Structure formats: C-alpha cells, structure tokens
C-alpha cells in the first residue's frame, strides 16, 4: 500500500565548474500514519508507506501497550481519502482480541511525532522509560565478534529504498549466527525498528531472546528501549551512541555496539557477551 519513493524536480549545482543541471531525483515518501485501536487513536507518526501493519503491531508492542501479537485480532486500512478524493491508506485500525485490553494508555505527548522522533513530545522523562517485562540482562546469548562486525553490510544488502534515495533508515533482527530474520526500512529510524519487531513477532512470541537488533542509524535511547521491551539482548548500530542509550543499556544489561564498520566496532555495554 502506498508509494515508497517518488520523483521530484531537482537542480544540481557545481560551483567548481560553474554550471547547474536540472534533472529529476528519487526521494523517499513521507506521509502520516494514524494508528487506532478499537476506534481510539493511539498515535500519529510520519512514516514511509508500506509494512503499515508491521509498524502498527510493532509500535503497540514496543510502547508496552500489548504483550503479544496475539492480542491483536485484526488490522485494516480505513478508507480515508485525500484532497483529490483518492484513498490514502494513512489510517490503520487494529481490533483487539476478545478478552484483551491495552496494558497502558497511549503515551501522552505535547507534539506530533515526526519521522525523526520516537519519544519526542513525551510529557515527562519518566514517561519514556516504558517498563520492560523481560530480564534481558540474564539472556545467556553470546555473539561472535566477526558476526557482529558483518551485520551492517548484511543489512545494507536489503536496503533497496536507501539505494534509490539515500534517505531511509533500516532495522534488522538477526539470530546469533548473523542470519537476518527480517529487515524493514523507513524514513524514521524508530519506525524501522517498530516495523521489524512487528514482522518478527508474527512468527515468534516475545521475548526475542538470543537475537540482535541491527540499525543503520545511531544508537539512541529510544532504540535501546524498544530492544529492551521486545526482549532483545543486543543492539548493533552503524552510527554513534548517545549518553542515555549507554546509560539505559548498562542499566538493563543490553549489549550495545556502535560505530560498526567491519572489521571494527566499539562496545559500550555488556562486552562479556562477545565470545
């Protein structure tokens, strides 16, 4: 559903040669997605259309609003229409299974979520520390450093959207041996994580023990938090970590790897899991 990329006009300037060339360019599509649960809106986020059901399911899981993919009985795109009267597919309605209820209300926000923001606008710092149900610190998984170093390149081979636009993040969940279970792309790094958690949760129950969350972006607080809520014991990032990400990973016992470019990477928490 929806377009992943689109063509726009562009003029490319070269100040050395002193010329300007007009030609179209391919860019990532960014559109709003409203998520409703049993008729009530729980969030609206800017995302790249596609894998909307994975995004919806993953968001509900990583925000701690449901405990299992089985808590959602069905999902459907609502028949919303744009200014031209054509369907936009920008609203997803999720119906909870009989006997299921949201474990917590939608996080109170003071502003709309953008594609760059997963926890922006939360009413307080405490509100972003979603309580995880899993003891990831006790996960006995170990990881071969060579496998860890190779994850970004493995992720890169699945980034078709980035290849075309240079403007999409990717997130993948891999087994301990490096085999990718799923990869998803989005203009928002937090959306990419929600999409891939939602995709894998359809096949196996949380916690996603013994797995690695690999992201093409920096390792931020929200990425580590989402891994913790999903029960993932390791996060591998291509970019830099933030101070809060390191703090949270240390507190929860998550192995945090950043600046990952084979054959090198840096470990900021739980280095003992690297065999």
Catalytic residue ranges: 117
Q: Is 53 annotated as a binding residue?
A: no
Q: Is 263 annotated as a binding residue?
A: yes
Q: Is 110 annotated as a binding residue?
A: no
Q: How many whole angstroms from its chain centre is CA 82? A: 26
CA 194/CA 120 separation, integer angstroms: 16
Q: Is 165 annotated as a binding residue?
A: no
**CA geometry: angle 48, 195, 208, nearest 5 deg:** 165
- Give the CA distances from residue 74 to residues 53, 71, 89, in Å, rounded to whole numbers and listed in that order: 10, 9, 16
DSSP label at residue 228 = H
C-beta separation of 236 from 254 below 8 A: no
Strand order in the sheet with 72-77: 40-47, 31-37, 91-96, 72-77
CA 1/CA 3 separation, integer angstroms: 7
CA 125/CA 95 separation, integer angstroms: 30
**Could you report how far apart the first and last alpha carbons of the chain are, in Å?**
42
C-beta separation of 18 from 25 below 8 A: no
Q: Is 104 annotated as a binding residue?
A: no
Q: Is 259 annotated as a binding residue?
A: yes
Contacts of 98 (CB under 8 A, 6+ apart): 73
Q: Which residues are annotated as a binding site?
A: 259-264
């Amino acid at each position: 559903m929806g377009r992943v990329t689109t063509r726009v006009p562009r003029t490319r300037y070269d100040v050395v040669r002193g010329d300007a060339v007009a030609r179209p360019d391919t860019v990532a599509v960014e559109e709003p997605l409203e998520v409703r649960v049993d008729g009530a809106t729980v969030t609206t986020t800017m995302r790249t259309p596609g894998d909307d059901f994975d995004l919806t399911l993953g968001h509900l899981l990583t925000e701690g609003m449901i405990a299992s993919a089985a808590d959602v009985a069905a999902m459907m795109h609502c028949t919303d229409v744009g200014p031209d009267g054509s369907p936009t597919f920008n609203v997803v309605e999720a119906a909870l299974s009989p006997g299921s209820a949201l474990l917590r209300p939608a996080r109170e926000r003071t502003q709309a979520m953008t594609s760059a923001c997963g926890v922006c606008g939360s009413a307080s710092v405490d509100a972003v520390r979603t309580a995880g149900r899993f003891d990831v610190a006790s996960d006995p998984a170990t990881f071969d450093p060579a496998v860890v170093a190779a994850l970004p390149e493995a992720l890169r081979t699945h980034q078709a959207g980035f290849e075309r636009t240079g403007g999409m993040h990717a997130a993948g969940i891999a087994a301990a041996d490096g085999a990718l279970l799923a990869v998803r792309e989005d203009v928002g790094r937090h959306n990419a994580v929600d999409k891939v958690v939602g995709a894998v949760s359809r096949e196996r129950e949380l916690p996603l023990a013994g797995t690695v969350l690999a992201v093409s972006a920096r390792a931020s607080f929200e990425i580590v938090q989402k891994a913790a809520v999903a029960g993932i014991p390791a996060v591998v990032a291509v970019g830099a970590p933030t101070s809060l990400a390191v703090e949270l990973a240390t507190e929860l016992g998550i192995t945090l790897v950043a600046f990952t470019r084979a054959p090198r990477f840096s470990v900021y928490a739980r280095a003992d899991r690297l065999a």
